[in-house]
Copies of this chain bind each other. A is one copy, B any other.
Amino acid sequence: MFSRACEYSIRATILIATHSMVGERVSLKDIARKTDSPLAFTGKVLQQLVKGGIVTSVQGVNGGFEIGQKQMEETRLSQIVAAIDGEQIFRACGLGLQACNAKKPCPLHDKFASIRNDLKTMLEGTSILDLSTGLKDGLTFLQR
């Protein structure tokens, strides 16, 4: 469904949020370890999120990644997905046809659009905070 890069970025962001909730930063090293993600590659995708204004990074000793309280409340999962995988997933035809639309639909158009819209609605309705509270409370997990 999502690319690896996107999966890593979501896992990382959720972890960062649980630390930011208690006023801590997380290093890339810890992120990679606690989300079972390749360190250097995760570093790359996190840079994209920094550029996208979704998380903040601080260099130097005691540096790391963090996300503001307001950011984690307001940022939607859809924004992370869009930042890494692009908007295609929200609009693309299920059969890969460029010209497919409601007026000239592919055979799967209606049925697929329905699912795709449900996905979009779900991603737009889910904040980073929503995903992070369960992890912080030990109700959900990020380990492989």
Interface residues of A (CB under 8 A from B): 1-2, 4, 7-8, 10-11, 14, 36, 77, 89, 92, 94-100, 104-109, 111-112, 114-116, 118-119, 122, 126, 131-132, 134-135, 140-144
Give the copy number.
2
CB distance from A121 to the nearest CB of B (A): 9
Top-8 shortest CB links A-B = A7-B96, A107-B131, A107-B140, A115-B119, A98-B144, A7-B95, A111-B122, A107-B135
Alpha-carbon distance between A115 and B118 when the two chains are bound, in angstroms: 7
How far in angstroms is the closest Cβ of chain B from A61?
Answer: 30
Please judge, given known A-B contacts A96-B7, A115-B118, A119-B115, whether A140 and B1 are in contact too, CB under 8 Å: no
What separation, in Å, do the CA atoms of A115 and B77 have in the docked complex? 15
- Indicate if the CB atoms of A106 and B142 lie closer than 8 Å: yes
